[in-house]
Structure 1
Amino acid sequence: MDDPNRAARRIRSLLPVLIVVCALAQLGAVLGVTRFIADTVTDAPPRAHSGASKTPGRTTADGDEQHANARRIAIGALLERRAGAVLSRDREAFTSTLDPQNAEFRQSQIGVFDNIAEVPFAGWEYEVVTPDAFELSDARKSALGAPVLTAHVDLLYRITGHDVAAVRVPQYLTFVLRAGTWYLAADTDGAATGMRTPAQVWDLGPVTVVQGTHSTVLGIGTRDVIREFADIADKAVPRVSAVWGESWPGRTVVVVPGTQAQMARLLGAEPGKYAKIAAVTTGERGAAADAAAADRVIVNPDAFRELGDLERRVVMTHEIAHVASRAFTRAWTPTWLSEGFADYVGYLDSAQTMRTAAPELRRDVKAGKVPERLPADASFETTQEDLPQAYEMGWLACKLIAERWGQAKLVDLYRTVGAERPPGVDAPDSASALASAMVSVLGTNPDSFTRTWLDYLRTQAG
């Protein structure tokens, strides 16, 4: 086992390694989620044209609408065949949906089909969100040499044994009509207008799948390497359940790209953005426990490789704590509570102290630079100079609650803050939700708790 002091220092040196990715409009390094949210599925309004149709009693607009509906029906049928081919592992049927005159795209798509051979899909389907989603340049239309249709289409997929609800991934597709048959011609044409199809792990190469006792790991690499992640996750899940309880599925999906650059591609980020981040968790914040969209722990293999055994355990346990608590993590949940709780679970039984696991905060306190309050959500942004201290403050706040009021009360506080509001009741702000929960669960209020916490920091700093 690694020396706990050295392990803590190395974990903190990789901060922010323990964050949850937020992607509501774009990716951001604050507590949250990567949400693939579909727009309301509506047909595009019929185009208005002047003039009469050649058919008595029928307008040109009517004819255009019928034509548009016919195209949507044809595209829907094409996508249904494509989905069926994926689920039935029918390579020939899948290939038949691809533009026969675009050899490069066909080979790329067939390669993706081959990459998912091991992935245990419980579902794979498409929804057309917006027909005519983006315009093609005249040069692009000329290169295709046939009638075209663009569309924003959502891919919905589920991993067997894990996903109750589907992961929803936006795709921006180009279809082409050749000899009376529609084919899929491209998935990158929308990028010119900012409509980029997000990468999935199977876009990176052949996916190796390892089924653990409590995990399914999808990775790019050898089976032995991928199995190591399954072993770490399998040990972390029971640790999380021992604290959080059994009110979550008790299983997780871990995604292991081959490189840090591939991790960044999965997260739609610049290659160097996650250089010092060992893992992130993606998922839908605050989804009901019985209908939660799928969470994923995404590993940065380059950073993870630098960690020792204890550090890897802490990081994986932290991330899976986010998975377990997702249904009770709301927009108003204070980041210090969500990140502090995950750190508390990660560090539990690791003999960590403020000296070893919160050295930056301890240095500040001993120098008389004592915080006045618990860290605000903005303190957890990756650009913050005092980011390590924010995590350390959150951890010590949750550690104090567990020591003073009991571990069960810490969990109860988290759940109470994130309790789902009845229909018609406005969501609370972070301060009011926390204040109400502290009174009902701990019998104290935020001001009194903060004073107790500050005394605790001084005592722990020695």
Structure 2
Amino acid sequence: MDDRSPRARRIPRWLLVFAAICAAISTGIALGVIGLGSDGSSRGSAPGASPSPPVQAADLPAGQEKHTDPRNEAIARLLERRATAVRTHDRAAYLATIDPAAKAFHDAQAAAFDNAAQIPFASWDYELVAADAFTLPEQRLATFAGATVFAAQVDLTYRIDGFDSAPVRSPQYLTFVLRDGAWLIAADTDGTDSGMRGAVQVWDLGPVAVLRGDSGIVLGVGDGTDLRSYQKDMDTAVPDVHKVWGGVWAGKAVVIVPANQEQMARLLGAEPQQYARIAAVTTGERGADVDAAAADRVIVNPDAFRELGAVERRVVMTHEITHVASRAFTRNWTPTWLSEGFADYVGYLNSGQTIRSAAPELRRDVREGRVPRTLPADEQFETTQEALPQAYEMGWLACRMIAERWGQEKLVEFYRAVGEAPPPGVGQPDQKSRLTSAFVSVLRISPADFTTQWAAYVQAQVK
């Protein structure tokens, strides 16, 4: 049967995006919540000002610790008033923390506050992390007409009620100005020229519709008319992932649906063309600890997602939520063939897709005599690689072989063994040693023998 026939329609693998690719494209996209809105200006702090030592985040919540710098104490109180306003839905109090002279910033903050009104935040807090974090250009300083200005890194932490078991944490870079003895926030983009760019949030893009499902929550920009299909995909994917991975994750997902591909790119701090053929991404960083992993998000590219059929949508969503579930065990040393292959394994499980239909590029290579002899290196998963589809197909077949020959539970055990954190005081392991240890302790096979068996398996399966 032809691979393109309706019954054997293959998943367009170029539409699948995976967390490892995202980490390479966008540095640290742990869904950086940078505050409500942006004024479109650039940021900084007074040149020549005496830098204050970085403020420890643990010291910052107002009322918990004494601050040696009165300015920092005043800023912490301002931030607490701002956070309280968000938690209590007090729009006037929130806008009262903004410099009235910064009209564009004020208007953007007002719009974003309103856009986020339907999101059920369980917590919202700010921490002053670093005083004098960046420098304001002279031209920008002149706009303050001699007023005292202060630039700082502030971390915003928040949780979505019922879905985040740990807060999302993200830095923002704020400009504060002293007006009539009171500190106010004047901008959130003045650090851009210093390389300190805040991330765009979903509520910065327009009104956010909210749809709760059995297994998570969908946040969509716009009126929410098309969110139910995403909810259905999520409600199908989460139990499927849970059946394989088990109960060592939150068991719920947060799916974000921007209005279009351009908005998706803005959320990820990238150029729109980077995601032209990408259906979804999972935020987060390789090596995230358990707490950080508890706040991963799936961000959808609606333009690409609409091109997928029902089975393809399910595969994509299941793949991405597998990354959410396994994030705490996906370390810097986890080989990409394993992290992506495992997500593909869970995604394709029970999808009805055959190896012939789901690995066409690798099948073509093997039929033309290009039989792989080694597992794909991390570099082969870079988006610029011409043979990128084959790398994913090879990783998938490696995980599929483990599940077939050793059992699905052993595959999960192997993944966790590779990504298990080292004991306290022990340095980060190298990939080779951790892989060798997992192969021997879990699968009772050497890496070399496994690779030999895998190469034979690939050749036999894709013929």
What's the TM-score, normalizing by structure 1? Answer: 0.88
- Structure number, greater radius of gyration: 1
Instruction: Give the structure 1 partner of residue 8 of structure 2.
Output: 5
Deviation at 1:122, TM superposition (A): 1.1
Cα distance in 2, alignment partners of residues 73 and 448 from structure 1:
62
User: Residues 412, 178 of structure 1: CA spacing in aligned structure 2 closer, same or farther, 3 A cutoff?
Assistant: same
Cα distance in 2, alignment partners of residues 289 and 175 from structure 1:
34
Cα distance in 2, alignment partners of residues 415 and 404 from structure 1:
18
Total equivalences in the alignment: 431
Instruction: Give the structure 1 partner of residue 158 of structure 2.
Output: 157
**Is the 2:20–2:336 Cα contact (8 Å) retained in structure 1?**
no
TM-superposition CA deviations, 1:398-432 (whole Å, max 9, x none): 11111111111111111111122111222221121
**Is the 1:33–1:285 Cα contact (8 Å) retained in structure 2?**
no
TM-superposition CA deviations, 1:372-416 (whole Å, max 9, x none): 200011111101111000000001111111111111111111111
Deviation at 1:449, TM superposition (A): 0.9
The amino acid across from 2:26 in the alignment is: L
The amino acid across from 1:386 in the alignment is: A
Instruction: Give the structure 1 partner of residue 257 of structure 2.
Output: 256
2:171 is the counterpart of 1:170: yes
Cα distance in 2, alignment partners of residues 67 and 409 from structure 1:
52
TM-superposition CA deviations, 1:302-329 (whole Å, max 9, x none): 1111111110000000000111111111
Instruction: Give the structure 2 partner of residue 60 of structure 1.
Output: none
Instruction: Give the structure 2 partner of residue 180 of structure 1.
Output: 181
The amino acid across from 2:101 in the alignment is: Q
Instruction: Give the structure 1 partner of residue 390 of structure 2.
Output: 389
Cα distance in 2, alignment partners of residues 210 and 16 from structure 1:
24
Instruction: Give the structure 2 partner of residue 439 of structure 1.
Output: 440
Deviates further, 284-293 or 384-393: 284-293
Instruction: Give the structure 1 partner of residue 235 of structure 2.
Output: 234
- In the TM superposition, 1:346-361 aligns within 5 A as 346-361=347-362
User: Residues 18, 331 of structure 1: CA spacing in aligned structure 2 closer, same or farther, 3 A cutoff?
Assistant: closer
**Is the 2:254–2:297 Cα contact (8 Å) retained in structure 1?**
yes
- 52, 60, 66: which is aligned to 1:44? 52
Instruction: Give the structure 1 partner of residue 41 of structure 2.
Output: none
Deviation at 1:360, TM superposition (A): 0.6
Deviation at 1:130, TM superposition (A): 1.4
The amino acid across from 1:414 in the alignment is: Y
Cα distance in 1, alignment partners of residues 460 and 389 from structure 2:
20
Instruction: Give the structure 1 partner of residue 375 of structure 2.
Output: 374
Instruction: Give the structure 2 partner of residue 273 of structure 1.
Output: 274
2:35 is the counterpart of 1:27: no
Cα distance in 2, alignment partners of residues 81 and 4 from structure 1:
59
- In the TM superposition, 1:126-165 aligns within 5 A as 126-145=126-145, 146-165=147-166
Cα distance in 2, alignment partners of residues 152 and 317 from structure 1:
36
Deviation at 1:148, TM superposition (A): 1.2
User: Residues 383, 291 of structure 1: CA spacing in aligned structure 2 closer, same or farther, 3 A cutoff?
Assistant: closer
**Is the 1:284–1:293 Cα contact (8 Å) retained in structure 2?**
no
TM-superposition CA deviations, 1:262-296 (whole Å, max 9, x none): 11111111121111111111124444546644101
Q: Which runs of 5+ in 1 are unaligned?
A: 47-65
Cα distance in 1, alignment partners of residues 409 and 102 from structure 2:
60
**Is the 1:21–1:282 Cα contact (8 Å) retained in structure 2?**
no
Cα distance in 2, alignment partners of residues 309 and 317 from structure 1:
12
**Counterpart of 1:272 in 2: which secondary structure?**
helix
Deviation at 1:107, TM superposition (A): 1.0
Deviation at 1:4, TM superposition (A): 5.0
Instruction: Give the structure 2 partner of residue 296 of structure 1.
Output: 297
The amino acid across from 1:313 in the alignment is: R
User: Residues 138, 425 of structure 1: CA spacing in aligned structure 2 closer, same or farther, 3 A cutoff?
Assistant: closer
2:108 is the counterpart of 1:108: yes
Deviates further, 367-376 or 190-199: 190-199
Deviation at 1:128, TM superposition (A): 1.1
**Is the 2:10–2:353 Cα contact (8 Å) retained in structure 1?**
no
Deviation at 1:15, TM superposition (A): 4.5
2:45 is the counterpart of 1:74: no
User: Residues 35, 67 of structure 1: CA spacing in aligned structure 2 closer, same or farther, 3 A cutoff?
Assistant: closer
Instruction: Give the structure 2 partner of residue 200 of structure 1.
Output: 201
**Is the 2:124–2:158 Cα contact (8 Å) retained in structure 1?**
yes
User: Residues 4, 159 of structure 1: CA spacing in aligned structure 2 closer, same or farther, 3 A cutoff?
Assistant: farther
Deviates further, 132-141 or 248-257: 132-141
**Is the 2:33–2:157 Cα contact (8 Å) retained in structure 1?**
no
Pairwise CA RMSD of aligned residues? Answer: 2.3
User: Residues 70, 33 of structure 1: CA spacing in aligned structure 2 closer, same or farther, 3 A cutoff?
Assistant: closer
**Is the 1:20–1:33 Cα contact (8 Å) retained in structure 2?**
no
**Is the 1:35–1:284 Cα contact (8 Å) retained in structure 2?**
no
Deviation at 1:231, TM superposition (A): 1.4
**Is the 1:7–1:310 Cα contact (8 Å) retained in structure 2?**
no
**Counterpart of 2:274 in 1: which secondary structure?**
coil
Deviation at 1:164, TM superposition (A): 2.4
**Is the 1:91–1:113 Cα contact (8 Å) retained in structure 2?**
yes
Cα distance in 2, alignment partners of residues 15 and 384 from structure 1:
15
The amino acid across from 1:281 in the alignment is: T
**Is the 2:23–2:284 Cα contact (8 Å) retained in structure 1?**
no
The amino acid across from 1:110 in the alignment is: A
Cα distance in 1, alignment partners of residues 127 and 291 from structure 2:
23
TM-superposition CA deviations, 1:49-102 (whole Å, max 9, x none): xxxxxxxxxxxxxxxxx9992221111111110000001000111111111122
Percent identical pairs in the alignment equals 60
Q: Which runs of 5+ in 2 are unaligned?
A: 35-50, 55-65
Deviation at 1:37, TM superposition (A): 12
Cα distance in 2, alignment partners of residues 290 and 270 from structure 1:
29
Deviation at 1:457, TM superposition (A): 1.2
The amino acid across from 2:275 in the alignment is: Y
What's the TM-score, normalizing by structure 2? Answer: 0.88
**Counterpart of 1:205 in 2: which secondary structure?**
coil
The amino acid across from 1:82 in the alignment is: R
**Is the 1:18–1:278 Cα contact (8 Å) retained in structure 2?**
no
Cα distance in 2, alignment partners of residues 281 and 124 from structure 1:
22
**Counterpart of 2:273 in 1: which secondary structure?**
coil
2:91 is the counterpart of 1:91: yes
Cα distance in 2, alignment partners of residues 290 and 102 from structure 1:
36
**Is the 2:20–2:286 Cα contact (8 Å) retained in structure 1?**
no
Cα distance in 2, alignment partners of residues 130 and 434 from structure 1:
39
The amino acid across from 1:142 in the alignment is: A
**Counterpart of 2:69 in 1: which secondary structure?**
helix
Cα distance in 2, alignment partners of residues 195 and 373 from structure 1:
41
Cα distance in 1, alignment partners of residues 213 and 127 from structure 2:
32
TM-superposition CA deviations, 1:328-358 (whole Å, max 9, x none): 1111111101100100000011222222011
User: Residues 98, 33 of structure 1: CA spacing in aligned structure 2 closer, same or farther, 3 A cutoff?
Assistant: closer
